[in-house]
């Protein structure tokens, strides 16, 4: 008997220059995606980050008024580690982000400001696979990103954006969803993995509140595990996997 062959992930498209990553919380990109971002910025591509919230409800022992500014600083530092200098916050409320026109409009506005060919987001499905339930903010933001990539190109859905000087941008060619249960594509994480670990470690206050392990051991173990698991479907190289939607 032959072993069933695991379907392999395809390499991500490379014929693009600008990407915009739009996620719910500080740390969403660092939990698995940052090695790909490091590889892209190394190759001279531009990547911007947009966070729907400041993650102000993310640390049990810190009230939101203190937590929000702290997590914003941590997010800017972790972006810098992988070559990203543009970090914006849409100021939706952490934990209760609502899918709807307001969120789609804010994301469409960001897409028009940045004019990306590739948009990145995080798993928008109900679960992480099996019985691991996803959080409502990830579901709301992920779905809104997939929709807003199209809204950004339509002059009439949010006419107030044109009045603000944001002309339609029809140039988004793909939306890549990280953390998907059904990935289709991948990026080699070999060169970016150390910086991905350093990038996650910038969320030190969050990690220290989360685990009793040393933050260094926790971050390396987590990210190596994710990259190795994706790599099983990418020729054995450590990888960051995405589900790629064409537009
Ligand atoms: Zn999150």
So what's the pLDDT on residue 7? 86
How many A from CA of 72 to the centre of ligand 1? 14
Q: Is 237 exposed, middle or buried (0-12, 13-18, 19+ CB in 10 A)?
A: middle
Contacts of 27 (CB under 8 A, 6+ apart): 55, 58, 71, 74, 75, 78, 200, 203, 206
159: containing domain: 17-246
In a domain, 3, yes or no: no
Q: Look at the chain and report how many structural domains it folds into.
A: 1
* The pLDDT value given to residue 2: 61
Output the pLDDT for position 215.
94
Distance 26 CA to ligand 1 centre (A): 7
DSSP string, 201-226: HT-HHHHHHH-SS-HHHHHHHHHHHH
Kindly give the pairing relationship between strand 86-89 and strand 46-51.
parallel
Q: What is the pLDDT along the chain (247 residues), one digit of tens a residue?
A: 566 677 899 999 999 999 999 999 999 999 999 999 999 999 999 999 999 999 999 999 999 999 999 999 999 999 999 999 999 999 999 999 999 999 999 999 999 999 999 999 999 999 999 899 999 999 999 999 999 999 999 999 999 999 999 999 999 999 999 999 999 999 999 999 999 999 999 999 899 998 999 999 999 999 999 999 999 999 999 999 999 999 9
Note whether residue 159 is domain-resident.
Answer: yes
pLDDT at 115: 98
Full-model pTM: 0.96
Ligand 1 center to 200 CA (angstroms): 13
Angle between helices 64-81 and 34-42 (to 10 degrees): 40
C-alpha to C-alpha distance for 164 and 221, rounded to whole angstroms: 46
**Domain of 72: which CATH number?**
3.40.50.10320
Distance in angstroms (rounded) separating the CA atoms of residues 14 and 29: 20
238 Cα: distance to centroid of ligand 1 (angstroms)? 23
Q: What is the pLDDT of residue 4?
A: 62
Q: What is the pLDDT of residue 3?
A: 62
What separation in Å is there between the alpha carbon of 25 and the centre of ligand 1? Answer: 5
Q: What is the pLDDT of residue 170?
A: 97
Does 205 reside within a domain?
yes
- Tell whether 12 is covered by a domain: no
- For residue 5, is it within any domain? no
Res 119: pLDDT:
98
Between the CA of 78 and the centroid of ligand 1 the distance, in Å, is: 15
Tell me, in angstroms, the distance from the centre of ligand 1 to residue 27's CA. 7
Residue 175 lies inside a defined structural domain of this protein: yes
Tell me the two tokens of residue 79.
């972006």
CA 69 to ligand 1 center in whole angstroms: 16
Assigned domain for 1 exists: no
Residue 207 lies inside a defined structural domain of this protein: yes
């Amino acid at each position: 008997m032959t072993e069933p062959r695991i379907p392999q992930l395809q390499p991500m498209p490379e014929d693009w220059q600008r990407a915009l990553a739009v996620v719910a919380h500080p740390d969403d990109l660092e939990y698995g995606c940052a090695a790909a971002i490091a590889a892209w910025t190394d190759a001279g591509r531009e990547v911007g980050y947009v966070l729907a919230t400041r993650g102000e409800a993310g640390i049990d022992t810190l009230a939101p008024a203190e937590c929000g500014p702290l997590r914003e600083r941590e997010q800017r530092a972790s972006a810098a580690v992988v070559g990203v200098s543009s970090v914006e916050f849409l100021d939706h409320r952490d934990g209760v982000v609502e899918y709807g026109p307001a969120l789609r409009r804010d994301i469409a506005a960001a897409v028009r400001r940045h004019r990306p060919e590739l948009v990145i987001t995080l798993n928008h499905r109900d679960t992480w696979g099996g019985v691991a339930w996803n959080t409502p903010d990830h579901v709301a933001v992920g779905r809104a990103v997939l929709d807003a990539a199209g809204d950004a190109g339509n002059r009439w859905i949010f006419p107030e954006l044109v009045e603000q000087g944001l002309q339609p941008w029809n140039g988004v060619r793909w939306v890549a969803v990280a953390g998907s249960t059904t990935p289709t594509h991948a990026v080699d994480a070999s060169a970016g993995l150390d910086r991905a670990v350093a990038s996650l470690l910038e969320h030190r206050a969050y990690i220290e509140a989360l685990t009793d392990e040393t933050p260094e051991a926790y971050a390396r173990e987590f990210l190596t595990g994710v990259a190795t698991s994706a790599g099983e479907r990418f020729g054995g190289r450590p990888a960051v996997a995405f589900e790629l939607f064409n537009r």
